[in-house]
Structure 1
Amino acid sequence: MDDVEELCSRLIRLDTTNYGGGESAGEREAGELVATVLSAAGIESKVLERTTRRSNVIARVPGTDSSLPPLLVQGHLDVVPADPAQWSRDPFSGEIADGYVWGRGATDMKDFIAMVLTVVHTWAQEDRAPRRDIVLAFVADEEDTGADGAEWLVDEHPSLFEGCGATISESGGYSYHVTHASGAPMRLYPIGTAERGTSHLRLTATGRAGHGSRRNDDNAVVKLIAALDRIAQHPWPIRLTPTVTAFLERTGKALGVEVDLSDVDGTLARLGKAAPLVENTVRISTRPTVLKAGYKVNVIPSTAVAEVDTRTLPGTELELLSTIDTLLGDGVTREFVTRMPALQAPIDSPWFDAMAAAIRSQDPDAVVVPYCMGGGTDAKAFARLGIPGYGFAPLWLPEGFDYRAMAHGVDERVPVQGLHFGVRVLDAFLSEV
């Protein structure tokens, strides 16, 4: 068995790029490596594919107490594209240098898969077992629609996850360096207990086609641009959810700063370095990202299309749609490109307490807080089976390391020490929860 950093490197070297729209390098080789590592630990696995080469690996690690509900540990094998010309190293080299493992997927999320496999292999070597059954799901297609991954598994193979009491996956449990009001350094560890919903919208403006040199008061492009400007400039009101409220209150208390829930913007200013963890999750967001119109500079087109990355908070979709409808204007319609609900898992729960305890077992000074993820994960798919999802992929990160810029970014990398820390935390959590 490789060290965790070597296993992470091997996974990165297997190109599993998901280009979107069904185009992919495929996850099969990575899935085969995962299955091989599990087999070496004495764990049988299933490799399931809806589409050729889009592999999903499912396994079950037996626990010592079958009366306990299983825990689902899930991660995705695919990665987003990387342009080698922009990187200082080959994004699929998996190079280990300067204390980091470099490459696409290093933090999103082949690091987590390598850590989980290392824990399972350690149990086999030391003849140990977790308290409860651990269901492992390493899936395809998270970086697009999930149609070949979690969404398909939930639709076609729900029995594999029957009885699971919770799931853990990416985007939480990492160290985040902040400063106390006294000036003392502190480490927050945010655990994801909520996710904003995804309500991506496609806007279509229609008008009268005509010659570009002539007056046209029914120009689809003009209508669309005006609608997009109104949407982009709209001041969405603050909507505090249970997770965001808990984050503000607990983080403020830990940092020794005043928290005023009636003045969230003022509170965010006082939170300093901690503010970026929450500032994107206190309100709905609508950000135009795609524009399509016309085919020739001297022709006014009859239609113009835009797509808007829209994120909602629990209970806010109706507010979103009614507001959007007032902002569109005449001649512009909307439809969903993607529609997934926001999620909220219990904060005060044995699951959260066990995650916090596992982090503190390795960092006694850790301040563990719940937080809401600004984006989305495969937890949305498993939530359809009634399984609450937590973002818990623990890592130790050095001060100044911009972890949140790594996923989908240039020169993505993960610290080797962080991987070893994550293995110890996951071992403590998965063994005892």
Structure 2
Amino acid sequence: MGNEVSLICSDLIRFDTTNPGSGERHAAEHVAGLLAEAGVEPVVFESARHRTSVVARIPGDSPEALLIHGHLDVVPAEPADWRVHPFSGEIADGCVWGRGAVDMKGTLSMTLALVRDWARRGVRPRRDLVLAFLADEEASGEYGAHYAVRRHRELFDGCTEAIGESGGYSVEVRGTRIYPVAVGERGTAWMRLTARGVAGHGSRPPVDNAVAELCHALSRLASHRWPVRLTPGVAALITSLEEILGESIDRDRLEQEAERLGRAGTLFAAQIRNSANPTMLEAGYKVNVVPGTATAHVDGRFLPGHREEFLETVDRLLGPKVTREFVNLEDAPWAPLDSPFFERLRAAIVAEDPAARPVPYVMSGGTDAKAFAALGIRGYGFAPLMLTPDLDYFGMFHGVDERVPVEGLEFGVRVLDRLLTSPGA
């Protein structure tokens, strides 16, 4: 099982599933084959040509089901920037290298290796498991999780909780291994902004310049200082960090405290405010022509419970001459901290790493958990990995030289095995 997980990860990385690109079909077919070899019947479907997902159910001792979801697609990678080719899946220096090693083909490999090991040992999970290997998470999820929820809802019958990416990994702080387990994430508001004005010759005095109006609006938006909003998940994280570090964290100076605390501070630095970052601009077609329209895209993120405050602020900053439309709008999901399932997630980590200190956590970005929340499924970020202190987990997400330790993957398989087969799971 230990050797198999790294080999599965290496094989998956070699499928170039860059999004946008040629799609996830070949990787999905490979996953379906690995499941079928383990006696698990996969359901394979496409939302568009080569936008392929795989879902399978493993019967357990309880019909109340747990969803384990992950995505097959990856973000682009420029080979010239990497020490090894990003789609080589090379195993070197104790790590599996390549795009997706962390985000998130390594996690998919842990699930697959565990299922195949169960088949060899005749192990049955404590509750029904629904395994989802999905397309398109690195975009809007429209061709993956959202399509699956709309068109194949029956595949998720009985699922009450879910585990997915961005949680359960180790962060070493002052000799202590902290494991953030995600209980929520910020909502997504990707917006297209449009300013309309009067087209004319570039040499004449401006009448109503759309480019200038849009730039002014973007400047107001980019320079806005969003107020700190301490949500329950982040508040619980800060309290846990105080207990672990043996010191108080000033809640009136959280930004400065995050910087002071280093790696521990990165766990809440981006999760105490809403944000709106301009990311794309388009206007004009000739230097001496004032265009009639100008457009921009903004990546907006809002904290759980703060969607309306976010949108009202955005509209006020944009002003009356700039309109917005959503490219993607999804609420901020959250899951309960005081649930028995959350405690089981923590216990599974500690059972494999007695020195572990699991803490609650809220993700700054987003995952497919948003799509499944629409079905009432409570999502937790739990992709367990023990990392070496020199590896920057956040830096490897969409970064260069992405890699995952082989021993970390093997640790993750053992944690999942405990979680899914122990009494009460």
Indicate the TM-score class for this superposition, using the shorter chain for normalisation.
over 0.9
Deviation per residue, 1:374-432 (Å, 9 max, x gap)? 11110100100000101000111111211111121111111111111111111111212
* Aligned-partner residue type, residue 393 of structure 1: A
Give the one of 175, 179, 190 matched to 1:200. Answer: 190
Paired residues of 1:239 and 1:283 also in contact (CA < 8 A): yes
- For residues 256 and 201 of structure 2, the distance between their equivalents in structure 1, rounded to whole angstroms, comes to 52
- For residues 300 and 189 of structure 1, the distance between their equivalents in structure 2, rounded to whole angstroms, comes to 54
- For residues 272 and 46 of structure 1, the distance between their equivalents in structure 2, rounded to whole angstroms, comes to 44
C-alpha displacement of 1:112: 0.6
Is 1:178 the equivalent of 2:168?
no
- For residues 57 and 96 of structure 1, the distance between their equivalents in structure 2, rounded to whole angstroms, comes to 26
Give the one of 298, 308, 331 matched to 2:298. Answer: 308
Give the one of 56, 59, 62 matched to 1:59. Answer: 56
- For residues 326 and 59 of structure 1, the distance between their equivalents in structure 2, rounded to whole angstroms, comes to 47
Per the alignment, residue 406 of structure 2 pairs with 416
C-alpha displacement of 1:217: 4.4
Q: Which runs of 5+ in 2 are unaligned?
A: none
Per the alignment, residue 93 of structure 1 pairs with 88
Q: Which secondary structure state, in structure 1, belongs to the residue aligned with residue 56 of structure 2?
A: strand
- For residues 35 and 218 of structure 2, the distance between their equivalents in structure 1, rounded to whole angstroms, comes to 50
C-alpha displacement of 1:330: 4.0
Q: Which secondary structure state, in structure 2, belongs to the residue aligned with residue 259 of structure 1?
A: coil
Percent of matched pairs sharing the same residue: 56
Aligned pairs (5 A) from 1:105-144: 105-144=100-139
Deviation per residue, 1:22-71 (Å, 9 max, x gap)? xx3121211111111112211111111122322211111111x225x110
- For residues 401 and 250 of structure 2, the distance between their equivalents in structure 1, rounded to whole angstroms, comes to 39
C-alpha displacement of 1:243: 0.5
Q: Considering only aligned residues, what root-mean-square deviation do their CA atoms show, in Å? A: 1.4
TM-score (norm 1): 0.95
C-alpha displacement of 1:213: 2.0
Q: Which secondary structure state, in structure 1, belongs to the residue aligned with residue 285 of structure 2?
A: coil
Per the alignment, residue 211 of structure 2 pairs with 221
* Aligned-partner residue type, residue 399 of structure 1: P
Give the one of 77, 85, 89 matched to 1:82. Answer: 77
- For residues 242 and 259 of structure 2, the distance between their equivalents in structure 1, rounded to whole angstroms, comes to 11
Per the alignment, residue 391 of structure 2 pairs with 401
Deviation per residue, 1:330-353 (Å, 9 max, x gap)? 421112111000011011111111
TM-score (norm 2): 0.96
* Aligned-partner residue type, residue 231 of structure 1: L
Per the alignment, residue 417 of structure 2 pairs with 427
Deviation per residue, 1:267-321 (Å, 9 max, x gap)? 4355342111111010100111001111111111111111111000112121112
Per the alignment, residue 19 of structure 2 pairs with 18
C-alpha displacement of 1:145: 2.1
Aligned pairs (5 A) from 1:287-302: 287-302=277-292
Per the alignment, residue 42 of structure 1 pairs with 39
Deviation per residue, 1:182-203 (Å, 9 max, x gap)? xxx1111001100100011211
Q: Which secondary structure state, in structure 1, belongs to the residue aligned with residue 251 of structure 2?
A: coil
Per the alignment, residue 350 of structure 1 pairs with 340
Is 1:32 the equivalent of 2:29?
yes
C-alpha displacement of 1:264: 2.8
* Aligned-partner residue type, residue 66 of structure 1: S
- For residues 269 and 145 of structure 1, the distance between their equivalents in structure 2, rounded to whole angstroms, comes to 31
C-alpha displacement of 1:262: 4.0
Per the alignment, residue 182 of structure 1 pairs with none
Paired residues of 1:203 and 1:332 also in contact (CA < 8 A): yes
Is 1:72 the equivalent of 2:62?
no
Paired residues of 1:247 and 1:370 also in contact (CA < 8 A): yes
Give the one of 382, 399, 404 matched to 2:372. Answer: 382
